[in-house]
Structure 1
Amino acid sequence: MILPKALQPGDTIGVIAPASPPNIENLKKAIPFFENIGFKVQLGHYVEEVHGYLAGTDEQRLKDLHDMFRDDNIKAIICAGGGYGTGRIAASIDYDLIKKHPKIFWGYSDITYLHTAIRQQTGLITFHGPMLASDIGKDDFHEHSKQAFNQLSQPTPMIYDHTYSELKVISKGDANGEIVGGNLSLIVNSLGGPYEIDTNGKLLFIEDVDEPPYRIDSFLSQLKHAGKLDDAAGIIVGDFNNAKPKKDRPSFTLEQVLNDYLSTLNKPVISGFKIGHCQPHYAIPLGVQANLSTEAKRLSIEPGVIGGSS
């Protein structure tokens, strides 16, 4: 496990778009947020490129990623947005470069694929949190979401309990383990490949957006058949925004689907965490040790950074 160094006032944050083209207006509206909390912002060379449904060619997006890790003046890398495309570049990433230049890496949604690949290839702790064009540059960016960036400036243990949102126990228990996961569809996309997620003894976090219950059913079914649910020490269920059945068609509810797959696991499973495609969006480090307790209805997370940048 490699903990990145905490940010210091005046540090530079690099912004890349490793997936789909971000909304440039929202991206530029987000930059003052970081400047106002004491950081400089440097955009990747290809952030504004459009190549079909990708933010530039695979080579361009990969170069921005490598350049930001290679540049020691860049102390953190925050993704502009998600969409689709990170799985296309995962096999070409120079993971030795990341090991030699570890730093904060932050994003969510399609960035889940990179979180899993980078962690499992290098041991680097990464962060699942709101991005510039997708969240920060929008008018409804929540104050609690803004506060989540404080964890990058000093080692801070985090406790998420019922004071943040209503939590529901799906299966009782208490477990410790590394937090892994992210977007459910991206987790499923990793199965059978070289970056297949390892859930053995881990706390598996899942979230998604705009997926009807039957699709979530299919994702969880695939994870079950792959042994990922049985291997996990516990399940953290984040936000499933707009998980609505298609109109005029019979359907289970999201709650019914989650209960079908998770209620009989004989391990802690709690739903209701506002982590994912939602506002507020609470950011968490991935790869750190955490405790999930249904008796306390609490997720306790160790810090995701150490010390300070040089």
Structure 2
Amino acid sequence: MRKLPSRLKKGDLVGVIAPSSPPNQESLQKALPFLEELGLRVKLGNSVTAVNGYLAGTDEERLADLHAMFEDPEVSGIFCAGGGYGAARIADQIDYAMIKENPKVFWGYSDITFLHTAIGEYADLVTFHGPMLASDVGKPEFHERSRRMFNQLFEPFELHYTEEVTPLETLVGGVAQGELVGGNLSLVRSAIGTKFDLDVKGKILLIEEIDEEPYEVDEILNQLRMARKFDEAAGIVIGDFKNAEPNKRQPSLTLDQVVDHYFSQLKIPVVKGFKIGHCEPHFSVPLGALARLDGDAKTLTILPGVE
């Protein structure tokens, strides 16, 4: 079992960093009061306002920010301002031994998937796949259920996703137990062949995506299939695929046809329809925590991500 970070408490200081692209400053400023409403004090990293083309500062600046927040004994948790691109550029320079010695809440998704995988693998720490400040929290459409998902950081409780949350569809029945891993499909694919290649053996693989047409999703899933990811996984949780509509390629298979092609013949439980990803509401989950996927009952149960 991976190490659980300590739960957050009212009055705790949390850091905000931008390991990927520059966050929208207007949205970020609208989001910061949300952290204060949770009873948290906020420390902004230097990367949050830095701009280096499509990156939030240089690799050195973003890396230094990440290290500083984990090393600072006064910082109890770290929230990513946004995603975009760039997290993978610093992954092989991160001091994972230091992070392992300073375990704390780390929260984000999308491009941050690469850091979730790396920190999980090399610092043995449970991290959180959830809405980001500028990308989600600061937007008018930020959902009340998405807000409530932050409560799991303050009190350890099991998460239960059933059809009371959203309709679900079972592609393959059965029950699987294992660590929940994964995140954004493109980022899982981008790590194949590197030291950060996602280990899915005996684990439940979560996938979600945004702005990829069915043929692009097909290409990524085919690579994961050939890399034997689906053979090794214990179960598959299919999250939200936002804007997965054919645009450049007409005529096209539908996303459902693509997904069914790759998953319906597997011998492990596969369930789709989870509102996890670039969506509202966004059901936040602890990655690396023990989960149970029941394809027959259409439920996903996840043990607490904090201690």
Shared fold (TM-score, shorter chain, > 0.5): yes
Q: Please give the root-mean-square deviation of Cα atoms over the aligned residues, in Å.
A: 0.7
Confirm or deny that 1:204 pairs with 2:232.
no
The residue identity in structure 1 corresponding to 2:224 is L
The residue identity in structure 2 corresponding to 1:15 is V
Correspondence 1:130-149 to 2 at 5 A: 130-149=131-150
Q: Hey, what does 2:230 align to over in structure 1? A: 229
Question: Cα distance 1:94–1:247, how it changes in 2: closer, same or farther (>3 A)?
Answer: closer
Give the length in aligned residue pairs: 306
| SS of corresponding position for 1:186 | helix
| SS of corresponding position for 2:28 | helix
Cα deviation digits, residues 58-111 of structure 1 (max 9, x gap): 000000000000001110000000000011000000001101110000000000
Q: Hey, what does 1:217 align to over in structure 2? A: 218
- For residues 231 and 264 of structure 1, the distance between their equivalents in structure 2, rounded to whole angstroms, comes to 14
| SS of corresponding position for 2:268 | coil
Correspondence 1:39-54 to 2 at 5 A: 39-54=40-55
Q: Tell me the TM-score normalised to structure 1 length.
A: 0.98
**Aligned-pair CA distance for 1:248:** 6.8
| SS of corresponding position for 1:76 | strand
**Aligned-pair CA distance for 1:46:** 2.4
Question: Cα distance 1:248–1:177, how it changes in 2: closer, same or farther (>3 A)?
Answer: closer
Q: Hey, what does 2:5 align to over in structure 1? A: 4
Confirm or deny that 1:246 pairs with 2:247.
yes
| SS of corresponding position for 2:179 | strand
| SS of corresponding position for 1:6 | coil
Q: What stretches of structure 1 move > 6 A for 4+ residues in a row?
A: none
Q: Hey, what does 1:31 align to over in structure 2? A: 32
Q: Which runs of 5+ in 2 are unaligned?
A: none
The residue identity in structure 2 corresponding to 1:253 is T
- For residues 70 and 140 of structure 2, the distance between their equivalents in structure 1, rounded to whole angstroms, comes to 30
Cα deviation digits, residues 249-300 of structure 1 (max 9, x gap): 1110000000000001111000000000000001000001110001111000
| SS of corresponding position for 2:297 | coil
- For residues 235 and 45 of structure 1, the distance between their equivalents in structure 2, rounded to whole angstroms, comes to 37
**Aligned-pair CA distance for 1:45:** 1.8
Q: Hey, what does 2:16 align to over in structure 1? A: 15
Q: Hey, what does 2:278 align to over in structure 1? A: 277
Cα deviation digits, residues 180-201 of structure 1 (max 9, x gap): 0000000000000010000000
The residue identity in structure 1 corresponding to 2:141 is D
- For residues 247 and 287 of structure 1, the distance between their equivalents in structure 2, rounded to whole angstroms, comes to 37
Kindly, what percent of the aligned residue pairs are identical?
56
**Aligned-pair CA distance for 1:247:** 5.5
- For residues 294 and 285 of structure 1, the distance between their equivalents in structure 2, rounded to whole angstroms, comes to 20
The residue identity in structure 1 corresponding to 2:99 is I
Correspondence 1:1-310 to 2 at 5 A: 1-246=2-247, 249-306=250-307
**Aligned-pair CA distance for 1:36:** 1.1
Q: Which runs of 5+ in 1 are unaligned?
A: none
Cα deviation digits, residues 221-247 of structure 1 (max 9, x gap): 000000101100000000000100115
- For residues 35 and 94 of structure 2, the distance between their equivalents in structure 1, rounded to whole angstroms, comes to 27
Question: Cα distance 1:248–1:103, how it changes in 2: closer, same or farther (>3 A)?
Answer: closer
Tell me if structure 1 keeps the 8 A contact 2:215–2:249.
Answer: no
The residue identity in structure 2 corresponding to 1:102 is P
